[in-house]
Amino acid sequence: MKHLLSIHDLTPSNIEEIMEQTRLLKASHNSKIEHFTLRGKTLGMIFEKASTRTRLSFEVGMAQLGGTTIFINTKETQIARGEDLCDTAKIFSCYLDAVVIRTFAQKYLEDFAKYASIPIINGLTDLLHPCQILSDIFTIEEKFGTYEGLKIAYIGDGNNIANSWINLATKLSFELALACPIGYLPDEAIFERGLREAKGKLSLTQDPFAAAQGADVIYTDVWTSMGQEEEKERREHDFAGYQVNEKILQTARPSAIVMHCLPAHRGEEISAAVIDGRQSVIFVQAENRLHLQKAILEMLILGG
């Protein structure tokens, strides 16, 4: 495992190794045991999109591992003036031990990784968000003791979160039921590959109640992502009926948990009563980003 660009690039054993190390790191943190395995190492962070959880979790995680971070606003570097990507990647490789990139195009990330000699981590692209979903499956296993045989219902936009869930379904054995409106479906190539390779059942419907029926996990995301603000009014109309609320929860298992990658728009894709309710694990989910990403940093930087 040289980079983390997409969950589909990982093997099931890679994923299990990440999750096992996450368990150890979280336990050490909760026991206040110092774990400075990355002392003297530096993580570069190229962010072209706004961030709260991704930035905080990587910066704090690197500090907890004894390393340092350099936050790079592309507008303040030669990247903004058109420096060749190949040259940029090679220069970053001279100075840093790894780079996390949060950007728009997946191709930019993949091209950067092609020219870099250090690990590159996908902090989010318009197509994929692997760190989020790896953290989410860790949270699910933490809550249920396993992910195998569970039904995960994703309700909402077929965006980078939905695409990454499909990629994970090709590696691990769980059922994934997606409910997305027409016009907002997951990436077609990723979904078709998912149908061929899924280890459990993979389905797509326009009926959120059908997807949620008997589910162990109900998952949603914002209807309007970064860069789509001009579409907000139309999206609110098109996603009417896709809100995760008490009525949707009644179709899931009584033991079901509710997840959201945040930020959330209360009263839109999820009701306030559900996000603050007893079945919500949304803030545990957010905390686990910290420990999961520490595991990824360790494994990539130390060559695990």
Kindly tell me the sign of the dihedral angle through the C-alpha atoms of 137, 285, 132, 175: positive
Query: Under 8 Å CB-to-CB from 259, ≥6 apart: which residues?
Result: 136, 139, 140, 217, 218, 219, 220, 281, 282, 285
pLDDT tens string 236-259? 999 999 999 999 999 999 999 999
What pTM did the predictor assign? 0.96
Structure tokens at 3: 């980079």
The pLDDT value recorded for residue 228 is 76
What mean pLDDT, rounded, does the chain reach?
Answer: 96
Respond yes or no: is residue 132 known to be catalytic.
Answer: yes
- Whether 102 is catalytic is yes
Sheet strand arrangement including 217-220: 202-205, 175-179, 151-155, 217-220, 257-260
228 classed as catalytic: no
Q: How far is CA 80 from the centre of its chain?
A: 27
The CATH architecture one would assign to domain 7-129+288-301 is 3-Layer(aba) Sandwich (3.40)
Percentage above 70 pLDDT, the chain: 99
Q: Which of 64, 106, 132, 285 is catalytic?
A: 132
Q: Which two tokens stand for residue 168?
A: 């994970």
Exactly one of 3, 53, 129, 235 is catalytic; which is it?
129
Q: Which of these is catalytic: 64, 180, 243, 261?
A: 261
Contacts for 256 with CB less than 8 Å, ≥ 6 apart: 215, 216, 217, 218, 249, 279
Is 106 a catalytic site residue?
no
pLDDT at 290 (0 to 100): 98
286 pLDDT more than 80: yes
The verdict on whether omega for the bond into residue 263 sits within 30 degrees of 0, i.e. cis, is yes
| Exposed/middle/buried for residue 28 (C-beta within 10 Å: 0-12, 13-18, 19+) | middle
CB-based contact 159:225 (threshold 8 Å): yes
Q: Is 261 in the active site?
A: yes
What does the domain layout of the chain look like in residue ranges? Answer: 7-129+288-301, 131-285
pLDDT in tens, 67-119: 999 998 878 788 777 889 999 999 999 999 999 999 999 999 999 999 999 99
| 266 carries an active-site annotation | no
Name the active-site residue from 3, 8, 53, 102: 102
Q: What pLDDT, on the 0 to 100 scale, is given for residue 31?
A: 97
What does the radius of gyration of the chain's CA atoms come to, in whole angstroms? 19
* 7-129+288-301 and 131-285 share one fold: yes
CATH architecture of the region 131-285: 3-Layer(aba) Sandwich (3.40)
Question: Is pLDDT above 70 for 304?
Answer: no
Token pair belonging to 268: 């839109």
